[in-house]
Amino acid sequence: MSLQTTPCCWSHQYEAALTELGATLHDGSMTPVIADGKLGMVYDYDLKRTLVKNYWLRANATLNITIITHYDEGIQYILSFGTCFFRSVRQDAMQKPCIPEHFILESTLTLGSSTDGIPIQRWRGVLNGMTSVFTVDPSNCMPIFQSLYGTESSLDSKSKLVTLGGDLGNINNTNEIIGPL
């Protein structure tokens, strides 16, 4: 097996089941907001679109949010509790399906036991002002983990509110909403 020694790229289109665990500490607060959830994601770099269904646990409640982003049109829809917020996004904000070229190979390790584990590589660098670590399978560059930490200052964007009828928590046909992926 050939290991990557330079940053690599993965598929331009994929679906993934993800787990998110993190915390945000807002200015002036000593109480972190915990993000503990599961995500389903459809990613299409060629069409510049993503669909993310989030299921977060917050303060003994489950929060279901669907985020549909059309990077080519510069708009993002956030669907939750029968309401749709929409806001503008930078058209160049979509994460490319590659480890950024300026990232440095930090280590090559084995995930699991030495006999049955899989090799992984960790790449570290700064992405959008935050420290980011990509962990990938070096045989095909398939992402296994991504961690981000630092200070996020882009949360002051303006949002608009649109109220929708119907059950938005059960979107079964992404073709009707964001086009074919």
Give tens-digit pLDDT for 125-140.
998 788 889 999 998 8
Q: Is residue 173 part of a domain?
A: no
Phi, psi of 148 (to 5 degrees): -130, 140
Scanning 69-153, the segments in alpha helix (DSSP H) are none
In sequence order, the β-bridge partners of residue 150 are none
- Please report, for the domain that includes residue 82, its CATH number: 2.50.20.30
* 177 in any annotated domain: no
Structural domain count, the chain: 1
Name which residue leads in pLDDT, 122 or 39: 122
Average pLDDT, the chain: 78
Three-state DSSP at 177 gives helix
Spatial CA neighbour of 129 closest among 106, 100, 159 = 100
pLDDT at 101 over 50: yes
pLDDT of residue 26: 76
Q: Nearest Cα to 54, choosing from 42, 65, 69, 43?
A: 65
pLDDT tens by residue, 133-167: 999 999 889 888 888 887 655 443 333 333 332 22
The per-residue pLDDT for 2 is: 53
pLDDT in tens, 17-31: 888 777 777 778 888
Domain encompassing residue 155: 13-167
Q: Are 120 and 135 in contact (CB under 8 A)?
A: yes
Q: What is the DSSP letter of 175?
A: H
Does residue 94 lie in a domain region?
yes
175 in any annotated domain:
no
